[in-house]
Amino acid sequence: MRIDRLLSNLPRFNRQHVRLLLAAGRVRVDGQACRDSRFEVRAFHRVEVDDELVQAGKPARYFMLHKPVGVVSATSHPDHRTVLDLLNEPDKHELHLAGRLDLNTSGLLLITNDGLWSRRATAPDGSHAKVYRVETEQVIDPAAVEVFAQGLYFAYEDLTTRPALLEIQAPHHAKLTLHEGRYHQIKRMFGHFQNKVIGLHRQSLGAIVLDPDLPPGAYRPLTQAEIASV
């Protein structure tokens, strides 16, 4: 909400009064004078007028979780344990997932209460590459490298996938870098070569790399550098 609207909604202020307060530098956001009436106030901002606290602001929270296989990427589920069940945090109902992983996919999962941040992290513009470790049932066809790089046509969505980087590391193992996240995309891409994916693990999203010290099911807060990278 714009700061002028937030303050004008208070019974003791009208719009003209708010304009004067802003012009005089008497409104502070996170300790800094705010004179821009169009400034967008979020739930995390502390807002003060003179020495009066108008909005305390709640802390923004950001976590990386090493998601294990068999845990659902959801905030609630009637049949399976969810990733939020793995967190020992207050007010877990305020948290949501910045992207998801399939039930049988492990690896990096981001969890936050900052909706704007999570939308940037999962933006469909491909700005944050996602790197996966893939294990397949059959030997990986070297022809897949060029096909993935050119993009595969998905008839159901009537679209061609963005170029993806496939690095074959062993006959049944590869590293795959994607710049999008279509429904079961990796399984469908390897399915084009009649090769079943039997193991899938996300190593990174953009500059955020799964902490090697985190065992499956463990989590930690993101660092300021990791948060800022999104």
Q: Please tell me whether residues 179 and 75 are part of one structural domain.
A: yes
Q: Please tell me whether residues 155 and 207 are part of one structural domain.
A: yes
Q: Please tell me whether residues 123 and 38 are part of one structural domain.
A: no
pLDDT value at residue 156: 85
Query: What average pLDDT does this structure show over 59-84?
Result: 93
Q: Please tell me whether residues 187 and 208 are part of one structural domain.
A: yes
Query: What average pLDDT does this structure show over 73-97?
Result: 92
Q: Please tell me whether residues 20 and 105 are part of one structural domain.
A: no
Q: Please tell me whether residues 97 and 145 are part of one structural domain.
A: yes
Quote the number of domains for the chain. 2
Strand bridging mode 197-205 / 173-178 = unpaired
What does the mean pLDDT of the chain come to? 94
Record the pTM.
Answer: 0.85
Q: What percent of the chain has pLDDT over 70?
A: 100
pLDDT value at residue 75: 87
Q: With cut-offs at 50, 70 and 90, classify the pLDDT of residue 79.
A: confident
Long-range contacts of 177-182 (CB under 8 A, 24+ apart): 177/129, 177/130, 177/131, 177/132, 178/129, 178/130, 178/132, 179/126, 179/129, 179/130, 180/124, 180/126, 181/99, 181/122, 181/130, 182/154, 182/157
Report the CATH number that the domain containing residue 15 is assigned in CATH: 3.10.290.10
> Does 77 have pLDDT greater than 90?
no
> Does 108 have pLDDT greater than 90?
yes
Query: What average pLDDT does this structure show over 177-206?
Result: 95
CA distance 170 to 186: 17
pLDDT tens per residue across span 120-169? 999 888 889 999 999 999 999 999 999 999 999 998 889 999 999 999 99
Q: Please tell me whether residues 7 and 86 are part of one structural domain.
A: no
Q: Please tell me whether residues 143 and 197 are part of one structural domain.
A: yes
Q: Please tell me whether residues 114 and 192 are part of one structural domain.
A: yes
Q: Please tell me whether residues 14 and 101 are part of one structural domain.
A: no
Evaluate whether 3 touches 29 at the Cβ level (below 8 Å).
yes
Q: With cut-offs at 50, 70 and 90, classify the pLDDT of residue 84.
A: very high
**Which range marks the domain in which residue 18 is found?**
3-55
Q: With cut-offs at 50, 70 and 90, classify the pLDDT of residue 9.
A: very high
b/e 161-197 (16+ beta carbons within 10 angstroms → b) = beebebebeeebebebbbbeebeebbbebbeebebeb
Q: Please tell me whether residues 176 and 85 are part of one structural domain.
A: yes
Q: With cut-offs at 50, 70 and 90, classify the pLDDT of residue 86.
A: very high
Residues carrying an active site annotation? 102
What 3-state DSSP class applies to 200? strand
Q: Please tell me whether residues 38 and 149 are part of one structural domain.
A: no
pLDDT value at residue 3: 95
